[in-house]
Amino acid sequence: MKLMKKMLVWVMMLTLMTMGAWGAMAEQADAATDAADSWYEISADGTVVTVRLPLEAGLSWTAEISDDTLMELITEETENDLYVASFKAVDGQIGDVSLIFNLTDDTAEAARRTRVLEMTLGEGGQLNLLSVLEQDPEADWCELTDNVLTVRLPEDLSTGYRWDFEISDPEVLEMLTQESTEGENGGAGQYAASFRPLKEGQEELVLSYSREDGETLETRAVDFDVDAQGNLSLRFVDVFHIME
């Protein structure tokens, strides 16, 4: 499955990234993300994680624990059009674990939306969140108009981080424009880039929010198709957040 392969790539990226210094990254997170943590919460004592995910007509959320010897489900219910579930570490267990949530119907071959929390379990059941992956069929930062794909992302150049992109096959998609604008009164600015299809193919556009020394705070990806007639369509978009 392409999602599982992509998750392995994200995990490898995370392993490499965490070898660097992370102190400054947490302070920069607001400039690179759009409230990505609004759907999950870790309790004040750091031992329970609760997720609240909006339901959609005809679809339901399912939860999977990558290693159920390390973490267990405490509660699971539907509340005010939300799927709500809480998890904690199994007593005495330490290690790395992922919580994977898929929004599907009974017949879908692939999830419409996916959410993944990767964390480390420490002494006393303490949860340390490592990364957050969100996969959706659309996103407000990614727009397709008149067969041109445009991305717009918050960017604060004063932090040393800036957006850059990579196309898995530059013969399928090419950049038309790319611009970074500064914000007013010292606030965060915006990165904007547009792309057009060149030939048929199924490829990926990856955008990374990084510093010159290679430290990456966030990665976003757009999976797309170009048909034989040159029409561009989006398959899904990923947002991968690195935590402190």
Confidence band for 110, pLDDT divided at 50, 70 and 90: confident
CATH of region 41-136: 2.60.40
| 34-48: pLDDT as tens digits | 434 489 999 999 999
Decide if pLDDT at 103 tops 90.
Answer: yes
Decide if pLDDT at 146 tops 50.
Answer: yes
What pLDDT shows up at residue 53?
97
Decide if pLDDT at 193 tops 70.
Answer: yes
Domain layout of the chain by residue ranges:
41-136, 142-242
229, burial (CB in 10 Å: exposed 0-12, middle 13-18, buried 19+): exposed
Side chain identity at residue 94, one-letter code: I
Decide if pLDDT at 2 tops 70.
Answer: no
Strands (E), 105-231: 113-121, 127-136, 142-145, 148-155, 162-167, 173-181, 189-197, 201-210, 216-226
Cα distances from 231 to residues 198, 202, 222, 224, in angstroms, run 9, 12, 16, 10
Chain CA centroid to CA 48, Å:
22
- Asked whether this chain's domains 41-136 and 142-242 adopt the same fold, the reply is yes
What pLDDT shows up at residue 6?
52
Query: Where is average pLDDT lowest: 81-95, 140-154, 162-176, 180-194?
Result: 180-194
The CATH number of 142-242 is which of 3.30.559.10, 2.60.130.10, 2.60.40.2020, 3.40.640.10?
2.60.40.2020
Side chain identity at residue 195, one-letter code: F
What pLDDT shows up at residue 244?
59
Nearest to 110, CA basis, from 219, 20, 195, 6: 6
Q: What is the pTM of this model?
A: 0.79
Pairing outcome for strands 40-42 and 48-54: antiparallel
